[in-house]
Amino acid sequence: GQCGNQVGCRFWDLALREHAAVNKKGIYDEALSSFFRNVDTRSGGDGPDIYKGKICSLKARALLIDMEEGVVNEILQGPLRDLFDSKQLITDVSGSGNNWAVGHKLYGYQYRENIVEKLRKTAEHCDCLQCFFIIHSMGGGTGSGLGTFVLNVLEDEFPEVYRFVTSVYPSGEDDVITSPYNSVLAMKELNEHADCVLPIENESLFDIVNKIHQMISSGKLGSTVKQNSLVTSSAGSARTVQEKPFDAMNNIVANLLLNLTSSARFEGSLNMDLNEISMNLVPFPRLHYLVSSLTPLYTLADVNVPSRRLDQMFSDAFSRDHQLIQADPKHSLYLACALLVRGNVQVSDLRRNIERLKPSLHFVSWNQEGWKTGLCSVPPVGHSHSLLALANNTCVKPTFTELKDRFMKLYKKKAHLHHYLHIDGMEQSCFSEAISSLSDLIEEYNELDATKGGPRTDPSRLEIAI
Amino acid sequence: MSIVTVQLGQCGNQIGREVFNAICSDVHGTHGLCSKKENESYRDACKERFFCEEETEVPVARAVLVDMEPKVISQTLSMAARSGYWKYDDRSRFCQKQGSGNNWANGYSVHGPRHKEVIMNLVQKEAEKCDRLGGFFTIMSMAGGTGSGLGAFVTQCLRDAFPTSFILNHVIWPYGTGEVIVQNYNSVLTLSHLYQSSDAILVHENDVIHKICSQLMNIKQISFRDVNQVIAHQLGSVFQPTYTAEGGLHYSRNPLGIDWQVQPPSRLLPPLQPFPNRPLHFNTSIANLVILRGKDTHGVDLGSFQDPSLYTSWLNPRDAFNAWKTPRAFNKYEKSASLVSNSQFLLKPLDNVVGKAWNMFASKAYIHQYTKFGIEEEDFLDSFTALEQVISSYTIL
């Protein structure tokens, strides 16, 4: 969809920038091969993959899907055009009309074979396929409907490969009236078929962008900020044209994905792979929604100004300003928390900060030390260190309850339902099942919340006769 | 006698490299404050134990490197080679790409059986290079997926393939707070399985080593490298050649000859009186080994280590205590002493880990991640039972 491809475009741009900063010799290495293929284009067209040696032509390991052509065409005409070839695209012309049913049932059925074939092709190029990333928005028709259809296909065709989904959730004032329908219908699919979901809200991205603008323009920073260190910036990347309005926000999401995969790509003293994230942060299969926060948002260029203390970075990760959804994990219940640190940070810094922050956070009784940590030696571009915090926390509940309320408002009046029901394969039960799935999820979070602050009774241990 | 080291997972490989480094730098350091002849004898014993001598190149460590992801092994191999004093055999490694995901079941039930043949072939090759095989030394952490799960499986395979060899498992006890959220599950499963095949489990706790770094060594920003180097230093001080009481003129042939085979009291013995006035949380021992290196080792009075009150009432201190010595100093320390102890000191950490794991198990959290790979709730219960028995046995000492 539109959102997915726009975020994706920023992601590939920043990924190239990150690898270029680390890989000075232009050798195609293991780190690069996680996201890119190295193709021999000298013989013209699509040559064979080259697994070692110099970089010839990099191709992104990606599938770009959109039911209208505008966004994908722009990518193909822009500075990233060489990253993709025609076999990685699935497009149509008329769009999904912000209708989940059109995306999921109509286009899903129509394009299933095409999707499976192209997925197989990209998977074949991989030595060892560990994970699929889906980037989409929940409120529209393509990303939401066709996106979740693809999620189903991934589970059917590649059951052992992890499915991580980055979903942009609509805000209350979203201008797409039917976004609650689309989102709730998509949620059911995410509940049942995703391994991990990273929900993102535009409001939070917008607030972060504003915060940065304010800091820069108010002169509070005192000295220049390293331009390429801004979590919102495209500086140093391939894109030289004027930045588009959503670029800054999309860069934040792109940085999220880069940080998430940094320890899998680069070395460190305590590696953290994607399957470890799924293992440690998902205690029960359906509770796989993770709240993410990124720090720092920028770094100062002036070496005379002491860099923001390391500990401040950890504190920031737990402040509302840095969360990518409107949520308050500090006042809700943690089921698990992961800290992925990049750069010149050692285990003692990690331990000191965990000890410091622990007392103010509420962890579920059976996971009082529920911390998963990773140390990656390579920092992001422009920074000396950075931190990504992923929390499985009941604070996602309000996001879901609000979504449910908005859905019910429309559903009770049967508003716009006919647009969905006249699509082949759509029935009233799709709606009732979807809302029921969401309600069950909310109830699971409620049950956990009820245990918060209650008396702690540890189960009695096994007794052994000598 | 030679030892074959098996390095498992990120932790195992990172520590393994530091151990060989420490041993090598001890041997190559300026003379060990003793006679040249003594020094040469020491060096030869050490080399036979840990390294394979190739004619033109630097000594090659007798080791097999195993990991389910490639980055750590690559780093380990290149850092070793860069030292110029020793290296690993490039072919003595096995690695995959996808990792174990901190999942013990993945390491034990999936990777283990799948790669058993290849890994055991590598071990067999190393074993065959030894004139006399003393035993195996495995290094792993309990918290993750490869070292712990695959490590437990490999230990079992070692036991099956070499029924009479000595197997010493070096296990890293993770930090109490967070390295890995499911570390307590992984630890319980690892220990209960190791108990079935291992001869001895040597433990280092990250929290304790961390304190050594901060309080004794005054390191400000402690890295895993610092922690690993302390561990390597301690291991070196135990494994480097010594003379045992019986050995006399030659460096002891059996480096791992710590005899931990302790018989529990038989019913026929009259019950001995428990020691009066022994404080409640006294650390009772079953066996202690003191290793002295450097100057004046012969004059040292070790009588206090044979105090009966240190040991459980059904043991004679003379059977429970051993001392090994060498005049050759270790790593330039003029005098050094090491203590290896089989006592109640691990009771509290073990009880802690089992308690937390049990707590989590009661809520069934994360269990689906293990059943996905074939470890069922009954397997967990078996492991809990086994460890509660160990805790009991140590408690009543």
Model pLDDT, residue A24:
87
Neighboring chain A residues of B148 at a CB cutoff of 8 Å: none
| CB-CB under 8 Å, B180 with A282 | no
Is residue B61 classed as helix, strand or coil in its secondary structure? Answer: strand
| CB-CB under 8 Å, B178 with A371 | yes
Task: Please give the structure tokens belonging to residue A25.
Answer: 């010799």
Task: Please give the structure tokens belonging to residue B293.
Answer: 């290196």
Neighboring chain B residues of A263 at a CB cutoff of 8 Å: none
Q: What residue of B is the nearest CA neighbor of A351?
A: B177
Q: Does A458 touch chain B (CB under 8 A)?
A: yes
Strand B2-8 to strand A57-60: parallel, antiparallel, or no bridges (unpaired)? unpaired
Q: What residue of B is the nearest CA neighbor of A355?
A: B177
Q: Which residues contact A282 (CB under 8 A, 6 or more apart)?
A: A195, A196, A288, A336, A392, B366, B369
pLDDT over 80 (residue B280):
no
Neighboring chain B residues of A461 at a CB cutoff of 8 Å: 354-355, 358, 388
Confidence band for B177, pLDDT divided at 50, 70 and 90: confident
| CB-CB under 8 Å, A366 with B360 | yes
Residue B271 CB coordination number (10 Å):
9
Low-confidence ranges of chain A (pLDDT < 50): 303-305
Nearest to A347 among B10, B103, B224 (CB): B224
Confidence band for B273, pLDDT divided at 50, 70 and 90: very low
Residue A131 host element (H or E): strand A131-137
Neighboring chain A residues of B368 at a CB cutoff of 8 Å: 284-285
Confidence band for B270, pLDDT divided at 50, 70 and 90: very low
pLDDT in tens, B1-18: 899 999 999 999 999 999
Confidence band for B199, pLDDT divided at 50, 70 and 90: very high
| CB-CB under 8 Å, B102 with A279 | yes
Q: What residue of B is the nearest CA neighbor of A349?
A: B221
Residue B355 host element (H or E): helix B347-362
Q: Does A359 touch chain B (CB under 8 A)?
A: no
- Work out the minimum CA distance from A384 to partner chain B, whole angstroms: 16
In chain B, pLDDT over 70 holds for what percent of residues?
Answer: 89
Model pLDDT, residue B192:
96
| CB-CB under 8 Å, B71 with A466 | no
In chain B, pLDDT over 90 holds for what percent of residues?
Answer: 62
CATH architecture of B2-248: 3-Layer(aba) Sandwich (3.40)
Give the C-alpha separation, A88 to A122, whole Å: 8
CA angle, B147 as apex, B287 and B161 as ends, to 5°? 75
Nearest to A270 among B75, B179, B355 (CB): B179
Nearest to B177 among A270, A348, A354 (CB): A354
| CB-CB under 8 Å, B177 with A464 | no
Confidence band for B28, pLDDT divided at 50, 70 and 90: confident
Question: What is the set of domains in chain A, with CATH numbers?
Answer: 2-398 (3.40.50.1440)
- Work out the minimum CA distance from B280 to partner chain A, whole angstroms: 21
Task: Please give the structure tokens belonging to residue B150.
Answer: 């695959």
Neighboring chain B residues of A283 at a CB cutoff of 8 Å: 365-366
Give the C-alpha separation, B275 to A114, whole Å: 80
Model pLDDT, residue A223:
56
Name the residue with tokens 């991989």.
A126
Residue A116 CB coordination number (10 Å):
15
Model pLDDT, residue A391:
96
Model pLDDT, residue B261:
44
DSSP codes of every residue in A141-159: SIIIIIHHHHHHHHHHH-T
| CB-CB under 8 Å, B366 with A283 | yes
Model pLDDT, residue A315:
92
- Work out the minimum CA distance from A267 to partner chain B, whole angstroms: 6
Q: What residue of B is the nearest CA neighbor of A278?
A: B101
pLDDT over 90 (residue B202):
yes
Q: Does A370 touch chain B (CB under 8 A)?
A: yes
Model pLDDT, residue A238:
63
Sign (positive or negative) of CA dihedral A211, A216, A220, A225: positive
- Between A40 and B141, the higher pLDDT residue: B141
- Between A236 and B19, the higher pLDDT residue: B19
Q: What residue of B is the nearest CA neighbor of A195?
A: B369
- Work out the minimum CA distance from A371 to partner chain B, whole angstroms: 4
Task: Please give the structure tokens belonging to residue B105.
Answer: 């079941």
Neighboring chain B residues of A31 at a CB cutoff of 8 Å: none
pLDDT over 80 (residue B216):
yes
Q: What is the mean pLDDT of residues B124-128?
A: 95
Q: Is B54 left (phi over 0), alpha (psi -120 to 50) or beta?
A: beta
pLDDT over 60 (residue B255):
no
- The beta strands (E) that lie in B105-165 are given as 133-141
| Contact between residue B391 and residue B351 where contact means Cβ atoms under 8 Å apart | yes
Model pLDDT, residue B295:
86
Neighboring chain A residues of B397 at a CB cutoff of 8 Å: none
| CB-CB under 8 Å, B210 with A351 | yes
| CB-CB under 8 Å, A271 with B369 | no
Model pLDDT, residue A242:
53
Q: What residue of A is the nearest CA neighbor of B145?
A: A276
* Ranges B315-319, B359-363, B372-376: which has the least confidence: B315-319
**Nearest CA among B65, B67, B150 for reference residue B105:** B150
Task: Please give the structure tokens belonging to residue A269.
Answer: 């003293």
pLDDT over 60 (residue B260):
no
Confidence band for B396, pLDDT divided at 50, 70 and 90: confident
pLDDT over 80 (residue B32):
no
| CB-CB under 8 Å, A347 with B360 | no
Mutate to test the interface with A, among B69, B177, B384, B396 (most CBs of A within 10 A): B177
* Ranges B26-35, B173-182, B323-332: which has the least confidence: B26-35
Is residue A355 classed as helix, strand or coil in its secondary structure? Answer: helix
Q: Does A128 touch chain B (CB under 8 A)?
A: yes
- Between B158 and A85, the higher pLDDT residue: B158
Asked if ipTM goes beyond 0.90, one says no
Model pLDDT, residue A4:
95
- Work out the minimum CA distance from A268 to partner chain B, whole angstroms: 8
Q: What residue of A is the nearest CA neighbor of B383?
A: A462
